[in-house]
Structure 1
Amino acid sequence: MTRKIKLTRANKSILLKALAPYYYRERALGHSTEKPGRLILKINALPADKRASFSAEEIHLMRTTVNQLRNERLAKGQYTDAADDMLLKLF
């Protein structure tokens, strides 16, 4: 199952900020980083405001990491509207 999502520049930035810590944490633990690494490259290569197809597994990974970023920002009392908007696009 794939789903098309339109990514704006802001949403691309949020996704990359959310995926990077996950990638490095998995790498430090010695786990496979192939899937998050490929997803980071795919998102980075996409032109802004274009629709792209993502698998269910990729969307799950994006949801999980963006939600973690949102929760970290909430814990620090920081602004989260952009992360909330990105999560709504993924649902």
Structure 2
Amino acid sequence: MRKIKLTRANKSILLKALAPYYYQEREFGHSTQEVGKLILKIDSLPADKRASFSAEEIHLMRITINRLRNERLSKGQYTDAADDMLLKLF
């Protein structure tokens, strides 16, 4: 377990990154239980508090945030918030 402090902006970025992944996995018929639990966990956490995450949860967050960042880069959009969140996860 690793503790990470989540600001309001980082919570928002995580939820924006995880939601499309959840729906994509659901569309393919894959299990969405772990992603769904992580979304609910992040959503229920108060901002600016430290929360513990497992290695699997952190791995899932890294993958989905990196996808969101790459999507934004391909569209020429601003990525500093996603970059900041990725740095917190390393």
- TM-score when scaled to structure 2? 1.00
Matches within 5 A, 1:16-55: 16-55=15-54
C-alpha RMSD of matched pairs (Å): 0.2
The answer for the alignment partner of 2:63 in structure 1 is 64
Structure 1 residue runs of 5 or longer lacking an equivalent are none
Asked if 1:81 is matched to 2:86, the reply is: no
SS of 1:48 mapped into structure 2? coil
Q: Percent identity?
A: 84
Q: C-alpha displacement at 1:16, in angstroms? A: 0.1
After TM superposition, the runs of 4+ consecutive aligned structure 1 residues lying more than 2 A away are none
* Aligned amino acid, residue 27 of structure 2: A
Q: Aligned pair count?
A: 90
Read off the aligned partner of 1:80 and give its amino acid letter: T
Partners of 2:81 and 2:25 in 1: CA distance: 25
Q: What amino acid does structure 2 have at the position aligned with 1:58?
A: E
CA distance in 1, matches of 2:14, 2:81: 11
The 1-side partners of 2:62 and 2:25 are apart by 17
Offset at 1:15? 0.1
